[in-house]
Amino acid sequence: MRVPSILAVALVATIAVAAGACGGDSPVAPDDPEAVRSPVGTFTLTTVNGATVPMLWDEMPLGEGRVLKAYWNGGSIRFRSDSSFTVVYRHTLTGPFLPGTVQEDTYDGTWRLTPGPKLELRQKGGSVQYWQTTDAIRSVTRTASVPRIGGGEEQVVFVFVRD
């Protein structure tokens, strides 16, 4: 029976550690066609309904020159190699007696690639969303119904682009 040398064991261990480090949460190289088939990395919200963020999303006149306004300020989504994700939306509501503080909504859960190409996002708590992408995942798009200030809902298209 042959016993591996200490040098050989150390070399194998070093290669295994290096390979594991390469599969982490770092963004993929945009020029690597195989790497961009994975969403692992961070994406930034760039447009809402085709308008560049930050942007005025909705407004409602209150009378006497007062107006209630809603803004999309930004957001991000981070896909991790362990199939977890975090989505952050930043928005502001301004108007009489409102400080205009940026609010953040954060959602966590797990993701997986599905045919289409789509990403299935399962939020903690059970809701499931399907986000559109392409074979080379340079952006992800979500279409959602969002409440309007004056009532009702509006279809909104959020586009996040890989950092």
pLDDT tens figures, 20-60 = 333 344 444 555 655 568 999 999 999 999 999 999 999 99
The pLDDT of residue 160 is 97
Residue 82 has which token pair?
A: 């362990």
Domain 25-162 has CATH 2.40.10: no
Please say if the pLDDT value at position 87 is more than 50. Answer: yes
Nearest to 24 by CA among 76, 75, 78: 78
Q: Where are the domains of the chain?
A: 25-162
pLDDT in tens, 101-148: 999 999 999 999 998 889 999 999 889 999 999 888 999 999 999 888
Highest mean pLDDT among 14-23, 78-87, 128-137: 78-87
CA–CA separation, 5 vs 2, rounded Å? 9
User: Which of 46, 58, 57, 91 has its CA nearest to residue 73?
Assistant: 91
